[in-house]
Structure 1
Amino acid sequence: MVSLQTPVCDFGKPAVDFSLPGTDGKVWTLEDCRGKKGLLVMFICNHCPYVKAVLDRLVRDTRELHELGVNSVAIMSNDPHQYEEDSFENMQKIAREKDFPFPYLLDATQEVAKAYGAVCTPDFFGYNADLQLQYRGRLAVPGAPGRQPQGGRTEDARRDLFEAMKHVAETGKGPEVQIPSMGCSIKWLGE
């Protein structure tokens, strides 16, 4: 497992269009996913301990963001030949088990991850209503995978992503200070 941090937010950069198959059997585009007040594009996978450690909070936060007019979409771009746990069938299984409130899409060619500049899982891209990038940071105060976050219990962790996207929904702008997300490197084809 190679741990990486995301680059700083490139404020105003437009969201990249895509057309990807979802675990629900539908093909999703950027326009299908967008919310009235914004869109959260998340690069995640099934096997990454960083993703596993935050998945329940991610489901909670995306449900609450939806109520604020911010939709979410998760994209899996890893090479599933390197990690069977990231297969499309396992994507479908985890989406059902966790009752994902967002589409979970397969980026089999990895073109979408490259177009967004995604580097790790999880990697978050928060857009305003005009689909301009306003957030590229962490979900919450981190702890090591499987451990409690700094400051105590998981449910008490500061919700950086949620608070940032709530601010985006209300103002159209993300916070000036953002702390990078950290996670496992994307498993690129042929590596």
Structure 2
Amino acid sequence: MSNTPSNMLALGTKAPDFKLANPSKNNELQSLDSLKGKKGTLVIFMCNHCPFVLNVIDKLEELYEDYKSQGIEFIGINSNDVNSYPADSPEMMIDFVDEKAIKFPYLFDGSQDVAKAFDAACTPDFYFFDENLSLIYRGQMDDSRPGNQKEVTGEDLIIAFENLLAGADQEDFQRPSLGCNIKWR
């Protein structure tokens, strides 16, 4: 387990476009444009085996259920090198989606080009874009980490979502996410 922080992509950055395979949908190619939310889009770099992802995945799915109807879409992306980490293979992604009852799209970035375009560093790494796909929040979900005994609340993401929905400014100080490093080739 590694403690790798987010790189903190500059606020206002336009979301890099992508078209990736969704293993749970027969590897159908899905694009950012076709998946984006009406009001906002949360892109999450994640994987199947990371203890930091496993620590928050249930709350993440709960937040998705709470905010999808309000126009906020979530998109999970796995960019790990599956040759070195076969637990993150597309086949295992399907099992992970089923086991965790994940309802948001979970896509596979086998080339790792999308992770590089986002300057993603860790799992989980969160990027929240407004309706125009401009970055308004990047950083942690909350203060919980595996083993730190802090409750998984989703507080930082909830504040970002609620600020967007209320038309309010985002918090000036945004704390980086922390997790396992993306497994680069």
With normalisation by structure 1, the TM-score equals 0.90
Q: Percent identity over the alignment?
A: 38
Structure 2 equivalent of residue 115 of structure 1 = 117
What amino acid sits opposite 1:169 in the alignment?
Answer: L
Q: Distance in 2 between matches of 1:169 and 1:29?
A: 24
Q: Corresponding residue for 1:184?
A: 180
Distance 2:45 2:168 in 1: 22
1:29 and 2:25 equivalent?
Answer: no
> What is the 5 A alignment of 1:1-191?
1-22=1-22, 23-25=24-26, 26-143=28-145, 145-149=146-150, 153-154=151-152, 157=153, 159-171=155-167, 173-189=169-185
* 1:72 Cα deviation from its structure 2 partner: 0.7
- Deviation string, structure 1 residues 21-75 (Cα, Å, up to 9, x no partner): 0022221101111111010000000111100111101111122121221101000
Q: Distance in 1 between matches of 2:147 and 2:68?
A: 27
The count of residues paired between Structure 1 and Structure 2 equals: 183
Query: Secondary structure in 2 aligned to 1:184?
Result: strand
Q: C-alpha separation between the residues in 1 aligned to 2:43 and 2:89? A: 20
Gaps of 5+ in 2: none
What runs of 5+ residues in structure 1 fail to find an aligned partner? none
Contact 1:139 1:160 in 2 (8 A): yes
Q: TM-score, normalised by structure 2?
A: 0.92
Alpha-carbon distance in structure 2 between the residues aligned to 1:146 and 1:44: 19
Deviation at 1:173, TM superposition (A): 4.5
TM-superposed CA distance for 1:131, in Å, is 0.4
Q: Does the residue aligned with 1:60 lie in a helix, a strand or coil?
A: helix
Inter-partner Cα distance in structure 1 for 2:54 and 2:154: 18
Q: Deviations over 1:76-124 (max 9, x none)?
A: 0000111121011110011112221211000000000000100000000
Report the residue type matching 1:175 in the other structure.
E
Are 1:7 and 1:136, in contact at CA under 8 Å, matched by a contact in 2? no
In structure 1, what residue type is equivalent to 2:90? F
Gap change, CA 1:11 and 1:99, over 3 Å in 2: same
